[in-house]
Structure 1
Amino acid sequence: MPGKDPGPQIKDKDQYEALRDKGYSKQKSARIANSKGAEHRGGKAKAYENQTKEQVYAEAKKVGIKGRSKMTKKELMHALRTN
Protein backbone atom coordinates (compact mmCIF):
# COMPACT_ATOMS: atom_id res chain seq x y z
CA MET A 1 0.00 0.00 0.00
CA PRO A 2 2.70 2.56 0.73
CA GLY A 3 3.34 4.77 -2.23
CA LYS A 4 -0.23 4.57 -3.56
CA ASP A 5 -2.19 7.81 -3.46
CA PRO A 6 -5.70 7.14 -2.11
CA GLY A 7 -6.98 10.24 -3.90
CA PRO A 8 -7.91 13.81 -3.08
CA GLN A 9 -11.08 12.81 -1.19
CA ILE A 10 -9.03 11.43 1.75
CA LYS A 11 -8.31 14.14 4.34
CA ASP A 12 -5.70 12.31 6.44
CA LYS A 13 -3.74 10.13 4.01
CA ASP A 14 -1.25 8.91 6.63
CA GLN A 15 -4.02 7.68 8.89
CA TYR A 16 -5.79 6.09 5.91
CA GLU A 17 -2.66 4.16 4.95
CA ALA A 18 -2.02 3.08 8.56
CA LEU A 19 -5.57 1.72 8.81
CA ARG A 20 -5.26 -0.10 5.48
CA ASP A 21 -1.99 -1.66 6.70
CA LYS A 22 -3.87 -2.92 9.77
CA GLY A 23 -6.37 -4.66 7.49
CA TYR A 24 -9.27 -2.20 7.56
CA SER A 25 -11.40 -1.98 4.42
CA LYS A 26 -11.00 0.96 2.05
CA GLN A 27 -14.42 2.29 3.04
CA LYS A 28 -13.84 2.08 6.78
CA SER A 29 -10.34 3.54 6.48
CA ALA A 30 -11.68 6.45 4.43
CA ARG A 31 -14.57 7.04 6.86
CA ILE A 32 -12.21 7.17 9.85
CA ALA A 33 -9.56 9.26 8.08
CA ASN A 34 -12.22 11.74 6.93
CA SER A 35 -14.18 11.92 10.16
CA LYS A 36 -14.32 15.18 12.06
CA GLY A 37 -11.54 15.24 14.60
CA ALA A 38 -9.74 12.22 13.14
CA GLU A 39 -6.43 13.75 14.16
CA HIS A 40 -7.62 13.98 17.77
CA ARG A 41 -8.85 10.42 18.28
CA GLY A 42 -8.85 9.22 21.84
CA GLY A 43 -10.39 5.79 21.30
CA LYS A 44 -13.43 6.63 23.39
CA ALA A 45 -16.75 5.12 22.35
CA LYS A 46 -19.90 7.22 22.44
CA ALA A 47 -22.21 6.74 25.41
CA TYR A 48 -24.97 4.99 23.49
CA GLU A 49 -26.39 3.69 26.77
CA ASN A 50 -27.59 7.23 27.54
CA GLN A 51 -29.44 7.52 24.23
CA THR A 52 -32.80 6.15 23.14
CA LYS A 53 -33.00 3.23 20.73
CA GLU A 54 -34.26 5.68 18.10
CA GLN A 55 -31.17 7.86 18.53
CA VAL A 56 -28.85 4.85 18.31
CA TYR A 57 -30.78 3.61 15.26
CA ALA A 58 -30.37 7.03 13.58
CA GLU A 59 -26.61 6.85 14.14
CA ALA A 60 -26.52 3.32 12.70
CA LYS A 61 -28.47 4.53 9.67
CA LYS A 62 -26.05 7.44 9.22
CA VAL A 63 -23.03 5.11 9.03
CA GLY A 64 -24.81 2.48 6.94
CA ILE A 65 -25.17 -0.48 9.32
CA LYS A 66 -26.93 -3.26 7.39
CA GLY A 67 -29.79 -5.16 9.05
CA ARG A 68 -30.32 -2.40 11.61
CA SER A 69 -34.12 -2.49 11.42
CA LYS A 70 -34.18 -5.93 13.07
CA MET A 71 -31.58 -5.14 15.74
CA THR A 72 -32.14 -4.46 19.41
CA LYS A 73 -30.58 -1.39 20.99
CA LYS A 74 -27.81 -3.58 22.39
CA GLU A 75 -27.11 -5.07 18.96
CA LEU A 76 -27.11 -1.61 17.37
CA MET A 77 -24.60 -0.35 19.95
CA HIS A 78 -22.34 -3.36 19.29
CA ALA A 79 -22.57 -2.86 15.52
CA LEU A 80 -21.69 0.84 15.85
CA ARG A 81 -18.72 0.12 18.08
CA THR A 82 -17.31 -2.63 15.90
CA ASN A 83 -18.12 -1.25 12.43
Structure 2
Amino acid sequence: MPRRDPGPSIKDKDQYEALRDKGYSKEKSARISNSQGAEKRGGKSGDYEDRSKQDLYTEAKKADIKGRSKMTKKELMHALRNN
Protein backbone atom coordinates (compact mmCIF):
# COMPACT_ATOMS: atom_id res chain seq x y z
CA MET A 1 0.00 0.00 0.00
CA PRO A 2 1.59 3.33 -1.03
CA ARG A 3 2.05 5.83 1.73
CA ARG A 4 0.29 9.14 1.51
CA ASP A 5 2.05 12.40 2.19
CA PRO A 6 0.78 13.59 5.60
CA GLY A 7 1.15 17.21 4.54
CA PRO A 8 3.41 20.17 5.23
CA SER A 9 2.44 20.48 8.89
CA ILE A 10 4.31 17.26 9.80
CA LYS A 11 7.94 17.96 10.62
CA ASP A 12 9.26 14.38 10.85
CA LYS A 13 7.34 12.42 8.22
CA ASP A 14 9.26 9.16 8.75
CA GLN A 15 8.44 9.12 12.43
CA TYR A 16 4.83 10.04 11.69
CA GLU A 17 4.49 7.04 9.36
CA ALA A 18 6.17 4.71 11.88
CA LEU A 19 3.74 5.80 14.59
CA ARG A 20 0.77 5.36 12.25
CA ASP A 21 2.02 1.83 11.46
CA LYS A 22 2.05 1.09 15.19
CA GLY A 23 -1.62 2.10 15.37
CA TYR A 24 -1.40 5.62 16.77
CA SER A 25 -4.08 8.08 15.67
CA LYS A 26 -3.30 10.74 13.09
CA GLU A 27 -3.50 13.46 15.73
CA LYS A 28 -1.24 11.71 18.22
CA SER A 29 1.27 10.74 15.54
CA ALA A 30 1.40 14.33 14.31
CA ARG A 31 1.79 15.72 17.83
CA ILE A 32 4.65 13.36 18.68
CA SER A 33 6.50 13.74 15.39
CA ASN A 34 6.19 17.52 15.47
CA SER A 35 7.39 17.92 19.05
CA GLN A 36 10.43 15.73 18.55
CA GLY A 37 11.12 17.23 15.14
CA ALA A 38 11.48 20.62 16.79
CA GLU A 39 14.14 19.23 19.11
CA LYS A 40 16.14 17.90 16.17
CA ARG A 41 16.06 21.20 14.32
CA GLY A 42 16.67 23.46 17.23
CA GLY A 43 19.60 23.69 19.48
CA LYS A 44 20.77 25.65 22.38
CA SER A 45 22.65 28.83 21.75
CA GLY A 46 25.81 27.18 22.93
CA ASP A 47 28.13 27.62 25.83
CA TYR A 48 29.80 30.76 24.64
CA GLU A 49 31.83 31.03 27.83
CA ASP A 50 33.75 27.90 26.82
CA ARG A 51 34.64 29.25 23.39
CA SER A 52 37.49 31.53 22.41
CA LYS A 53 37.01 35.15 21.43
CA GLN A 54 38.13 34.23 17.90
CA ASP A 55 35.43 31.55 17.64
CA LEU A 56 32.83 34.04 18.82
CA TYR A 57 34.10 36.61 16.35
CA THR A 58 33.77 34.07 13.52
CA GLU A 59 30.18 33.32 14.54
CA ALA A 60 29.44 37.06 14.75
CA LYS A 61 30.86 37.50 11.27
CA LYS A 62 28.57 34.74 9.95
CA ALA A 63 25.63 36.47 11.65
CA ASP A 64 26.73 39.83 10.16
CA ILE A 65 26.84 41.56 13.54
CA LYS A 66 28.01 45.14 13.09
CA GLY A 67 30.86 46.48 15.22
CA ARG A 68 32.13 42.99 16.06
CA SER A 69 35.80 43.87 15.55
CA LYS A 70 35.75 46.27 18.51
CA MET A 71 33.72 44.03 20.84
CA THR A 72 35.05 42.24 23.88
CA LYS A 73 34.35 38.56 24.38
CA LYS A 74 31.49 39.42 26.74
CA GLU A 75 29.99 41.82 24.19
CA LEU A 76 30.29 39.21 21.43
CA MET A 77 28.47 36.66 23.62
CA HIS A 78 25.70 39.17 24.29
CA ALA A 79 25.38 40.11 20.62
CA LEU A 80 25.22 36.47 19.51
CA ARG A 81 22.60 35.60 22.11
CA ASN A 82 20.44 38.56 21.20
CA ASN A 83 20.88 38.55 17.45
Q: TM-score, normalised by structure 2?
A: 0.49
Q: Which has the larger radius of gyration?
A: 2
Q: TM-score, normalised by structure 1?
A: 0.49
